[in-house]
Amino acid sequence: MDQRTVDTGMPLNSMKLKLKKLKNQVMVITGATSGIGLVTARMAAEQGVKLVLAARNEDALNILQKELKVRGTESVYVVADVSKEEDIDKIADRAIGHFGGFDTWVNNAGVALYGYSAEIPVEDMRHLFDINFWGIVYGTRKAVAHYKEKGEPGSIINLGSVVGNRAFPVQSIYSASKHAIRGFTDGIRMELEKEHAPVVISQIHPARIDTPYTDHATSYIDKKPTHKGIVYPPESVAEAILHVAEHPTRDMYVGTQAKFFSIFGMVHPRITDKIMELNTFQTNYDENQSSPAPEAGNLFEPKEDLYERGTNLGWHRPKSLMVKAKKHPALSTIGLMTVGAALAALKVIEVKKAMEVKKVMEIKKLKKSLF
């Protein structure tokens, strides 16, 4: 391949590009038969979007397409494994062959892996990266080529995670794949803006979401994976995806904790380590249920699909205020104030603890001098 000239001109602001209204769009969704992908497909259909549905489970795809047809939605499906670049080509070819192209590509497909990193088989780790990371790389590159060829602005939406901003224990390999997605997404965005490519690249950062994610997970811990703590509905993520598909947005966080951990974990990494070491391990599993065997997960083959929700135990929130705030800028100040107040409160706690430690040390020093 010939070397190309490095662009030196002023970059484009891709967030100023004009995207089509949803009702005029063709949208590709990978991982369309479960959880976030399934909810997004159904909500997009309500907005009049034409759909290209991709997943590994053909039976589920067939049923979903028939359901959407009854609703009056035009859709096609492709049986595809995103870890294979040739399958990504099949998705794009189907979209172009049937609809003449596509306007938004949602890189949603992903798998989960629970366990201690020193003990998980490397083969499993590699395959998770093949799906979670390389699937997004392949999809992004294919969509970029299509939008350049069309010469019309198009959107690419990559699904990140709260654990892509701050790693979680017992999910370190999944966290690593999501960190990689963030680096790739941010890097290629800058490259494309420098060359004035007609591409908007966005990333969604969900907190813990009530989907079959934990039910489909491949697990090497002895208790069943689950989400505890605050859990948000998949509709909030789908709402964010559909908003970004129409309104260019660099990042969108679903759930205040997604934004909080991103900021606090960066500013106070060691304190965050200790907080998570004390509190996060037990929020990953249900101590009352044994974990299925690793082969029960969907890492290497699809499992039962067409479920939007999972069997998670956490506090189920009805919606994400962070998404509402992003969609309605007047509310964004409230969201920032909430995160700021939380950070300030933690800083006060940190200072108080430091003062208490200092007092204890002074008392011990005084006692030592007296006796």
Residues marked active site are found at 174
Strand partners, 225: 285
Strand partners, 78: 54
Tally of CB atoms within 10 A around 270:
7
208 φψ region: left (φ > 0), alpha (ψ -120 to 50), beta (else):
beta
Tally of CB atoms within 10 A around 202:
26
Q: What are the DSSP calls for 295-335, one per residue?
A: GGSSSSS--S---S-----SEE-S--HHHHHHHSHHHHHHH
108 SS3 class: coil
C-alpha 91 chain-centroid distance: 21
Residue 137 is encoded by which pair of tokens?
């790389």
- CB within 8 A of 154, min separation 6: which ones? 19, 102, 103, 104, 105, 143, 146, 147, 198, 199, 200
Residue 344 is encoded by which pair of tokens?
């300030």
Cα–Cα distance measured from residue 100 to residue 119, given in angstroms and rounded to the nearest whole number: 47
Cα–Cα distance measured from residue 284 to residue 266, given in angstroms and rounded to the nearest whole number: 22
Please state at what angle helix 256-267 crosses helix 329-370, rounded to 10 degrees: 40
Cα–Cα distance measured from residue 84 to residue 288, given in angstroms and rounded to the nearest whole number: 38
The answer to whether 200 and 96 are in contact (CB under 8 A) is no
Alpha-carbon Rg for the chain, nearest whole angstrom, is: 22
Helices and strands (H and E) in the chain: how many: 12, 13
Please state at what angle helix 269-279 crosses helix 256-267, rounded to 10 degrees: 130
